[in-house]
Amino acid sequence: MFLGESLPIGSGVTIPINHSHHLDAELKEIVSVKYADYRYAMDVCRSDLVRNILRFAPTEGNHKRILVDIKVHDLKRGEFTCVPGWHLDGSNNPQNLDKRPEIHHLFVASRFALTEFMDMPLDISIDPSWTFAERSKKLGKLLDEMDIPVFTIPNGRYVTYDDSFFHRGKQATGDEIRLLVRVTETDVIEPQNKIYVPYTHQSTLWG
Ligand SMILES: [Fe+2]
C-alpha cells in the first residue's frame, strides 16, 4: 500500500500574515476549539482574521460534516505544539461505518514551527487488523528512526491532505504566538462544541 502518494496540495490562496506585536495581541484574543462545528467555531473564535481564514478553506463538500480546530499556542523555543513524531490524522471507525477518508485543510501562521510532511511516498505493507491509530503509531515510530526527506508547509496558506499523509509538528526554533486552523471534512468524527485550551495556555495572556 502506498501512503502519501503525492505532496499535500496547496490551495493557492495566501492570506497575508504580518508577524508583529500587533498581530500577537490579536492572536491572544482568539478562542481555541477542537473538532467544533464550522458555525460554532465562527461564532466563538472572537477573531475576524480566523473567520476570514475559515471562509477561504478549500472544502470539497463531499463528506457528512465539516469540523474546525483552532489552536493558538504561546510557544517557547524548543517546545512542540503536539506530541512529537510522525503521525497520521484520521479516525479509528470502530463501528466500521461506511466512510470516506477524512480530508484536512491545514493553515498555520508561524515563523518558527511550521508543520512538516514526509516528502516521499511510502510503499509499505499494512496489517489489516490494525486500527487507524495503531497504523499511525507503529509506522510513525518506524519513520522516527529514519532520515527521510521533509516538506515544510508554507506560512499563511492552506495545504490539503488526507489520512495517508504522515506529518509531524516541528520543535519551535524561536518564541512566538502560533495560530493553527484546521478544517476537517469527515463522515464519522463527532463535533465537540466547546472551548479548548492548548497546553501552552497562560492565564496571564488569556485570563
Ligand atoms: Fe496531525
pLDDT, one tens digit for every residue, the chain (207 residues): 666 666 667 766 788 888 888 899 999 999 999 999 999 999 999 999 999 999 999 999 999 999 999 999 999 999 998 889 999 999 988 788 889 999 999 999 999 999 999 988 878 888 888 999 999 999 999 999 999 999 999 999 999 999 999 999 999 999 999 999 999 999 999 999 999 887 665 444 443
Ligand 1 centroid – CA 167 distance (Å):
6
Is residue 28 in a domain?
Answer: yes
Is residue 127 in a domain?
Answer: yes
Is residue 206 in a domain?
Answer: no
Residue 65 domain boundaries: 2-11+19-197
Is residue 112 in a domain?
Answer: yes
Is residue 41 in a domain?
Answer: yes
Ligand 1 centroid – CA 144 distance (Å):
15
Ligand 1 centroid – CA 83 distance (Å):
9
pTM summary value: 0.91
Is residue 176 in a domain?
Answer: yes
Cα dihedral 202/86/65/57 (nearest 10): 70
Strand runs (DSSP E) across 38-137, as ranges? 65-75, 103-109, 116-118, 122-123
**Tally of structural domains, the chain:** 1
Categorise residue 156: left if φ over 0, alpha if ψ from -120 to 50, beta otherwise: left
Ligand 1 centroid – CA 133 distance (Å):
12
Ligand 1 centroid – CA 134 distance (Å):
15
In the chain, alpha helices (H) = 21-28, 38-44, 48-55, 132-144, 203-206
Task: Write b or e for each residue in 54-71: b if 16 or more Cβ atoms lie within 10 A of its Cβ, otherwise e.
Answer: bebbbbeeebeebbbbbb
Q: Look up residue 76 and give its three cell numbers.
A: 517557547
Ligand 1 centroid – CA 187 distance (Å):
18
Is residue 205 in a domain?
Answer: no
Ligand 1 centroid – CA 89 distance (Å):
5
Is residue 124 in a domain?
Answer: yes
Q: Residue 120's domain is classified under what CATH number?
A: 2.60.120
